[in-house]
A and B are shown apart, each in its own frame.
Chain A
Amino acid sequence: MKIKSLEDLRKIKESSKDLTSARSGGATRVIIGMGTCGIAAGAREVMTAVLEELDKRGLRDVAVETTGCIGMCQKEPLLDVIRPGEPRITYGDVTPADVVRIIGEHLVGGKVVEDKVIGQTD
């Protein structure tokens, strides 16, 4: 498309933001345990659900990271959410259905999904 005005440039900038957003390390971080234990317990499905939900809601400023086994294998799949300036919340036994709640209530709404929390670190 031809850029005819500042407005047009802004539109392209807005739509191309995700092109590089993952490189600036998003403000909010979602970390999924992807050790062998996590994968065996269904971490891949959780990952897919996270990406789908973020996409559906148009959330771009979120860094989705993976991490190895942290030793709490019985609670896998584990999913951590870190909102800027807030403690790191670890959720256990996460299913794709939980992902929708966690993203909606915690990531967006700022309210921790208490019944799935297994730990918190500052």
Chain B
Amino acid sequence: MALYRAHVLVCKGTGCKSSGAAPVYDALKEEITRRGLDKEVMLVETGCHGMCEMGPIVVVYPEGSLYCRVTADDVAEIVEEHLYKGRLVQRLLYTTPEDKVKIPHYRDIPFYKKQFRIALRNCGYINPDNIEEYIARDGYVALAKALTAMDPEDVLAEVKTSGLRGRGGGGFPTGLKWEFCRRAKGDKKYVICNADEGDPGAFMDRSILEGDPHALIEGMMLGAYAIGADEGYIYCRAEYPLAIKRLGVAMAQCTEYGLLGDNIMGTDFSFHLHVKEGAGAFVCGEETALMASIEGERGMPRPRPPFPANKGLWGKPSNINNVETWANVPSIIREGGEWFASIGTEKSKGTKVFALTGKVNNTGLVEVPMGTTIREIVFDMGGGILNGRKFKAVQIGGPSGGCLTEEHLDLPVNYESLTAAGAIMGSGGLVVMDEDTCMVDVARFFLEFTQRESCGKCVPCREGTKQMLLTLEKITSGKGKMKDLETLEELALMVKEMSLCGLGQTAPNPVLTTLRYFRDEYEAHIKDKKCPAKACSALISFVIDAEKCRKCGICAKNCPVDCIAGDRNTPYVIDQERCIKCGTCLEVCPFQAVSKV
């Protein structure tokens, strides 16, 4: 094999792909060949690097220079300057938002500096379609170690020692869950991967599936070995076509290398893996609904017990974990449970991947040790709030989570601390909100989502979420009464208490936390008929300041409903009756004469 002096890594994760990575890759391939560098420069397609905001991302090794927002037009310069002449293309390097410093090396970028990667260790570093790159990074060493030198009980003990807890939301100790399934009676057992990631704004699992599918497969095989299962299912939503494709490639390679199938590595251990595509119902992320869906039934939860560990898929003992949980397992077996337990806090071990989105400068994926504060995540890695606005709240844990405020910024993130504050770890969605976000509207948004996704099997969830949503809509449209807040709280507690599954039990969280921390905003909507963040369209109006108006008429020309009148001699005025509050006049006015009140 030829020696490549430089490696050019092009992110082809879903984020970078949608911002145009494919033409960049093609242009690089052509330009490198044209300059005769194809024998010494290797072009590699990788999964997500995490800094999706800056995509398409191109990383050049051995220097480790990260280029941001690369287009096909930049390619000739990168090849000529960097690959040929060894000069960094300064204008494409990452620039810090505050002091505009160019950072030449990947690992020095603040976004990456505080990260500690276990689940994402290979994402953006290897070609996910090449099993040999995974093996070169110690892939399948854990499996070989387990099969040749460890009993299933040893593997189980190691996972228990590590203190790993479920990364899908619940936070149940993984080792204990495995043990229940191992001890369950049955000649046939299953392991299942929950890859039905459905929270709005969350894409941790997708990145692992796309960037390092072998880590998930190896993790499941270790779990199967520990539990005594010989068959596994990956339940992945059909909206993740790239993830499904890469899983297919990875599984075919495993079969080819004898890592999937019968008598793996010459031992008695056999394992067969299937991918089941889900149709994207949020409730199928609930384990019993997920298993019903695999069986071909309608995706609806059922009461527990019996727990899946005793009676799961096709009535057999089954163990179900989410993608990130499984992806942590190979590192635990390879490096040891003690090593994993040395990271994180007393009760929450290891790291957690967060999908950072919303009004923050660097949106993307970060993996941090448990116990990192929200401030470090939002300000140090996320680079602070967009456009220098003020931080207001962070919604953590997706539609099942809650909104936390400025006073929680120094809260170390772990399962217990978040639950105590009214949020949950959830799968790790983290939506940042600034002063322009209306908290009542946020609660309405998430409830609209859970209400739509409620499967309808149990009454509290089906009817409760609907009634809560109607009440919230009443408040945001300015028709609310103070009594509605009591109704809302009562309904929320009822739904939380009485729903059959996790969807209903957590759906009221956004309402409860916003009521707890932002009650004044609710009251402003009801008592003063005002939306303090000026976001609820029913409660705001647009006005033109006659003093500032220069009578140019640009607002009137752009108004989609022709409700602005005036001429060269009289200042323009908006007809409030006909105004649809689209905000176009405010955007186009060159003299800032239009304002929201």
B170 at the interface (CB under 8 A from A): no
A25 touches B61 (CB 8 A): yes
B420 at the interface (CB under 8 A from A): no
A68 at the interface (CB under 8 A from B): yes
User: With a CB–CB cut-off of 8 A, which chain B residues contact A47?
Assistant: 5, 40
Closest to B149 in A: A6
User: Which of the listed residues B63, B135, B138, B266 has the most CB atoms from chain A within 10 Å of its own CB?
Assistant: B135
Interface bits A34-46 vs B (CB < 8 Å: 1, else 0): 1110010000000
User: With a CB–CB cut-off of 8 A, which chain B residues contact A8?
Assistant: 265
User: With a CB–CB cut-off of 8 A, which chain A residues contact B140?
Assistant: 3, 9
Q: Provide the bound-state CA to CA distance between A13 and B92, in Å.
A: 35
A4 touches B1 (CB 8 A): no
Q: Provide the bound-state CA to CA distance between A13 and B63, in Å.
A: 24
User: With a CB–CB cut-off of 8 A, which chain A residues contact B141?
Assistant: 9, 13
Q: From residue A68, how far is it (CB to closest CB) to chain B in Å?
A: 4
A4 touches B265 (CB 8 A): yes
Contacts A16-B133, A19-B136, A66-B85 hold; do A25 and B64 have CB atoms under 8 A apart?
A: yes
Please pick, from A1, A3, A20, the residue contacting B133 in the complex, using a CB distance under 8 A. Answer: A20
User: With a CB–CB cut-off of 8 A, which chain A residues contact B136?
Assistant: 13, 16-17, 19-21
A108 at the interface (CB under 8 A from B): no
Interface bits B279-316 vs A (CB < 8 Å: 1, else 0): 00000000000000000000000000000000000000
Closest to B59 in A: A23
Q: From residue A18, how far is it (CB to closest CB) to chain B in Å?
A: 6
B144 at the interface (CB under 8 A from A): yes
A9 touches B135 (CB 8 A): yes
Q: Provide the bound-state CA to CA distance between A33 and B64, in Å.
A: 18
A114 at the interface (CB under 8 A from B): no
A51 at the interface (CB under 8 A from B): yes
A22 touches B62 (CB 8 A): yes
B84 at the interface (CB under 8 A from A): yes
Q: From residue A62, how far is it (CB to closest CB) to chain B in Å?
A: 9
User: With a CB–CB cut-off of 8 A, which chain A residues contact B1?
Assistant: 15, 18
Contacts A23-B7, A64-B5, A64-B62 hold; do A34 and B86 have CB atoms under 8 A apart?
A: yes
Chain B, interface residues (CB within 8 Å), range: 35 or more
Closest to A6 in B: B144
A55 touches B85 (CB 8 A): no
A65 touches B133 (CB 8 A): no
Q: From residue B255, how far is it (CB to closest CB) to chain A in Å?
A: 10
User: With a CB–CB cut-off of 8 A, which chain A residues contact B265?
Assistant: 3-6, 8-9
Task: Pick the interface stretch among B124-132, B153-161, B484-492, B562-570.
Answer: B124-132
User: With a CB–CB cut-off of 8 A, which chain A residues contact B257?
Assistant: 1-3, 12
A22 touches B61 (CB 8 A): yes
B259 at the interface (CB under 8 A from A): yes
Q: Provide the bound-state CA to CA distance between A81 and B104, in Å.
A: 21
Q: Provide the bound-state CA to CA distance between A1 and B501, in Å.
A: 46
User: Which of the listed residues B5, B61, B63, B265 has the most CB atoms from chain A within 10 Å of its own CB?
Assistant: B5
Q: From residue B328, how far is it (CB to closest CB) to chain A in Å?
A: 21
B558 at the interface (CB under 8 A from A): no
User: With a CB–CB cut-off of 8 A, which chain A residues contact B145?
Assistant: 6
User: With a CB–CB cut-off of 8 A, which chain A residues contact B135?
Assistant: 9, 12-13, 16
Q: Provide the bound-state CA to CA distance between A64 and B126, in Å.
A: 20
Binding site for A on B (CB under 8 A): 1-7, 9, 40, 42, 61-64, 83-87, 125-126, 130, 132-133, 135-138, 140-141, 144-145, 148, 257-259, 265-266
For the A-B complex with A4-B265, A15-B1, A20-B126 known, give 17 more contacts whose Cβ atoms are closer than 8 Å.
A1-B257, A3-B259, A6-B148, A9-B265, A16-B135, A23-B125, A25-B61, A25-B62, A25-B64, A34-B86, A36-B85, A51-B40, A64-B5, A65-B62, A67-B86, A68-B85, A68-B87
* 30 cross-chain CB contacts under 8 A: A2-B257, A3-B259, A4-B258, A5-B266, A6-B145, A6-B265, A8-B265, A9-B140, A12-B132, A12-B257, A19-B132, A20-B125, A20-B126, A20-B136, A22-B4, A22-B62, A23-B7, A23-B125, A26-B62, A31-B86, A32-B86, A33-B86, A34-B84, A34-B86, A35-B85, A39-B85, A47-B5, A64-B62, A66-B85, A68-B86
